[in-house]
Amino acid sequence: MTKVLVLYHSAYGHIETMAKAVAEGAREAGATVDIKRVPETVPEEIAKGAHFKLDQDAPIAKIEDLADYDAIIVGAGTRFGRMPSQMASFLDQAGGLWAKGALHGKVGGAFTSTATQHGGQETTLFSIITNLLHFGMVIVGLDYGHAGQMTLDEITGGSPYGASTIAGGDGSRQPSENELTGARYQGRKIAQTAAKLAA
């Protein structure tokens, strides 16, 4: 059975919600899925003051966990048009796995969230995808089989590079059903691709 890791960092809960939808889609494709988060590097007092969502139930990932999966789907919010330092710091610790080629041929994908509609979703997805390509992974985005990314009926996230959501300047907007459908679709496609490559 295909093993999929949904690895995420979520400051305010939007990426956590998207991670659960990505995992749901991968499970629909018959995969065994684990959801794990990277360690929070912001001191707890500052995180509390910034109203971070600190009650997330996903276990903390370890770098060596990455080698145990057929596919790794990475989700993180946007910090100035790139992945946040928490995710970058975690992935930077994978030098040993990179040196051994431990992630070669595994399937990867990315998803993200921004405060605004044009807040750097695509550049953030590319910052994650660039990392995964250096690991030797095969990238699967959000293809146009998810037609919801083309809708003009609502403001929505989603692009060929990965699922995404828009949180609003104050974080009050939660992922829409269309955005969650895109996340499930991408999770399903990544799990299906990993299963085909494993066969």
Numbered residues of the known binding site for FMN: 10-15, 78-80, 134
DSSP track, 11-69: SSSHHHHHHHHHHHHHHHTT-EEEEEEPPP-S-HHHHHHTT------SPBP-GGGGGG-
Q: How far apart are CA 12 and CA 10, in angstroms?
A: 6
The answer for residues whose C-beta is within 8 angstroms of residue 58's C-beta and 6 or more apart is: 8, 16, 19, 35, 36, 37
Q: Compute how many other C-beta atoms are within 10 angstroms of the C-beta atom of residue 76.
A: 31
Under DSSP, is residue 175 helix (H, G, I), strand (E, B) or coil? Answer: coil
Q: Where are the beta strands (DSSP E) in 46-193?
A: 71-77, 107-114, 138-139, 163-166
Question: Which residues make up each annotated binding site?
Answer: 10-15, 78-80, 98, 134
Question: Which residues make up each annotated binding site for NAD(+)?
Answer: 12
Under DSSP, is residue 99 helix (H, G, I), strand (E, B) or coil? Answer: helix
User: Residue 19: exposed, middle, or buried by beta-carbon count in 10 A (0-12, 13-18, 19+)?
Assistant: buried
Question: Which residues make up each annotated binding site for substrate?
Answer: 98
